[in-house]
Amino acid sequence: MSDVLKIFRELEMTWDRDNIYHQVLTYIAQASELLGLPAGMELILAQPKNEITVHFPVLMDNGDYQLFRGYRVQHNNVLGPFKGGIRYHQDADLDHVKALAVLMTMKTALYWLPYGGAKGAVKVNPRSLSQNELMRLTRRFTAALGQNIGPFYDVPAPDVGTNAQIMAWITDTYTNLHDPARRLDGMGVCTGKPLLLGGSQGREKATGQGLIYVLEQMLPEMGFDIGKVSYSLIGYGNVGSWTGKLMAERGAKLTAVLDHTGAIYSDKGIDALELDKYVAQKGGVGGFPNAEAITEDQFYSAKVDVLIPAALEQMINDRNVKLLNCKIVAEAANAPTTPQAERYMVEQGIQILPAILCNSGGVTVSYFEWNQNRQAETWDLEYVDAQLKKMVLAACARTKETARRLKCDLRVASYCAALERIAKVYLIRGIFP
Ligand code: GLU
C-alpha cells in the first residue's frame, strides 16, 4: 500500500479504494515491489501512454442526432502493437477503461503474445439501439478514432456489449477510409471478426475454452476433478455460456447462474445448452423454466466447489463476499474481485485462479486470427485449439514457477510473471532517446 501511495503522490492523483483503476495499480505496485523493479518502471506503467476521448454524433432512427462519448486507452506497447477489446456499456468511464487497458498489458505479457495493452469503450447501452443505429455508431466511432487504430498499431476486438458483427463494421469502415492497395493488411485492423470476413475458427468460444484449459490444468493440484465439480456462473453472455457448454461436455455440474435479469438455481444441475437457447430468445437467465428463481444473495451463498465470475468487474465485493460458500473462484471476467473482497477470501482459505491467467484465451486466439490475416491463411479448429492449449499450459507453468520462486499467491505471481517480461524488454530496449 505504501508504495502505491508514493506513486499516487508523484502523479498527483488522489487514492480512492473503490476506483478500479486504483485497485489495479495496487496490484502492479505490489508485484513491482516484490520483483524489486526500479521506481521509474512503476511510474511508466502507472499511466497509459495515450488516453483518447472522442465525441461524435450519430443519426438515430427517429431522425434526431445523439452525441456519444468514446474512449481508446493505449496503455503500453513495449512488447508490440496495442491490443484489446472495445466495449459498449452505459457505465463506461475513463478510469474504468484505463484499468482494463492495464490488464490487457498484463495478459499479453503473461501469455508471451507480441502485443501491448489497450481498451476502448463507448458509453452506450447497446440493447437500447436498433441494428442500424448500432452500425452507424460503430462506423462513426471507427472514423473518429482515425489513425489511432490500425493492423500494426492498435488492434481492437470484441468485449462486453460488442461482437463479431461490430468487428465487421469496424473492418469495413477502416478499409474504406484507408489505402485501397492495402485492403488485405486492413483485415487485421481488428480481431474477433465473423469467419467469412477473416475471423478465426474457435475465436468466439476462445475465452471460455482458455478457462477450461486452465481448470483442467490447475484443479487437480487443488484437489478437484473438473468432471466432478459443482460450479456457479456470474454472467451468461459469450464467456459464461461457452464456459457452461464446455464444462457440460466434461461432466461438471452447473447449479446456479446470476445475470442482469435475475438468478436461477437447481441442485440437480442446469442444462447449459437449454439455457443457451433460452438466453438467446429472452436476453437473460431470469425466468428460465427448468430451475428455481433465487435472489442475488442466495446466489452468492449457494454451496459450490467453483464460482466463476464471467461478467463485469468488481462483482465479488465487500457487500457479498461474506456470503460465499465456495472453495475456488476462477476469474473468467476482468478484475471481478475487489482487493478488499480478496483479502477476506484469502483469510477464509478460498483459492483464487487469477483473471489474467484465466481469461486470456480470447486475446490469444485473437493473436492467431491476426497471424492468419497477415499470412492470408485459415487454420482449422483442431489446430487453433491445440495451439491455444499449448499457450495456456505455458502460462500456467510460468505462473506456478513464479509463485514458487517468489513465495507468493497465484494472483501476485501472475502479475510478477507479466511484469518481469516487460521489465526485461525495457532493459534491453532502453528508454528512447
Ligand atoms: N476483450 C477481450 C479481453 O478482454 C479480448 C481482447 C482481444 O482479443 O484483443 O481479453
Is residue 191 in contact with ligand 1, taking CB distance under 6 Å?
yes
Residue 69 domain-assigned (yes or no):
yes
Q: How many alpha carbons lie under 13 Å from residue 30 in its C-beta half-sphere?
A: 16
Give the Å distance between the CA of 170 and the centre of ligand 1. 15
* Contacts (Cβ under 8 Å, ≥6 apart) of 355: 103, 331, 332, 333, 334, 335, 336
- In this structure, the answer to whether residues 306 and 217 fall within a common structural domain is yes
Evaluate: CB of 119 within 6 angstroms of ligand 1: no
- Does residue 368 contact residue 379 with C-beta atoms inside 8 Å? yes
Q: What count of residues does the chain have?
A: 433
> How many whole angstroms from 251 Cα to the centroid of ligand 1?
28
Does ligand 1 come within 6 angstroms of the Cβ of 160? no
Query: Phi first, then psi: what are they for 123, rounded to 5°?
Result: -80, 95
Residue 401 within any structural domain of the chain: no
Question: Which of 83, 98, 107, 119 is flagged as catalytic?
Answer: 119
Q: Are 41 and 61 contained in the same domain? A: no
**Same domain flag for 54 and 120:** yes
Between the CA of residue 217 and those of 308, 389, 406, what are the distances in Å?
16, 10, 21
- Domain, as residue range, for 2: 1-47
First vs last C-alpha separation in the chain: 33
**Backbone φ, ψ for residue 236 (5° rounding):** -135, 45
| Shared domain check, 115 and 33 | no
Q: What is the count of structural domains for the chain?
A: 3
Tell me the best of 96, 111, 159, 238 to mutate to test the pocket of ligand 1, counting ligand atoms within 8 Å of each CB and taking the most.
Answer: 159
List all residues 6 or more positions away from 305 whose beta carbon is below 8 Å from its beta carbon.
224, 229, 230, 231, 326, 327, 328
Residues 128, 227: one domain?
no
Do the beta carbons of residue 365 and residue 384 sit within 8 Å?
yes
**Judgement on whether residues 20 and 144 belong to the same structural domain of the protein:** no
CA 256 to ligand 1 centroid distance, Å: 26
Mean pLDDT by 10 residues, the chain (433 residues): 76 90 94 92 93 98 98 98 98 97 98 98 97 98 98 97 97 95 92 97 98 98 97 97 98 98 98 97 97 98 98 96 98 96 97 98 98 96 98 98 98 98 94 85
Same domain, yes or no, for 275 and 324?
Answer: yes
119 catalytic residue (yes or no): yes
Q: How far is the CA of 234 from the centre of ligand 1 (A)?
A: 18
Question: Per the domain annotation, does 252 fall within a domain?
Answer: yes
Residue 116 CB–ligand 1 contact under 6 Å: no
* Per-residue confidence (pLDDT) for residue 238, from 0 to 100: 94
Cα separation, 375 vs 373, in Å, equals 5
Verify that 36 and 76 share a domain, yes or no. Answer: no
Sign of the torsion formed by the C-alpha atoms of 391, 105, 195 and 313: positive
231 and 167 in a common domain: no
Same domain, 211 and 354: yes
What pLDDT does 431 receive?
84
Could you tell me if the CB of 362 is within 6 A of ligand 1?
yes
- Whether ligand 1 lies within 6 angstroms of the CB of 105 is answered as no
Residues 281 and 337 in one domain: yes
The enclosing domain of 213 has a CATH number of 3.40.50.720
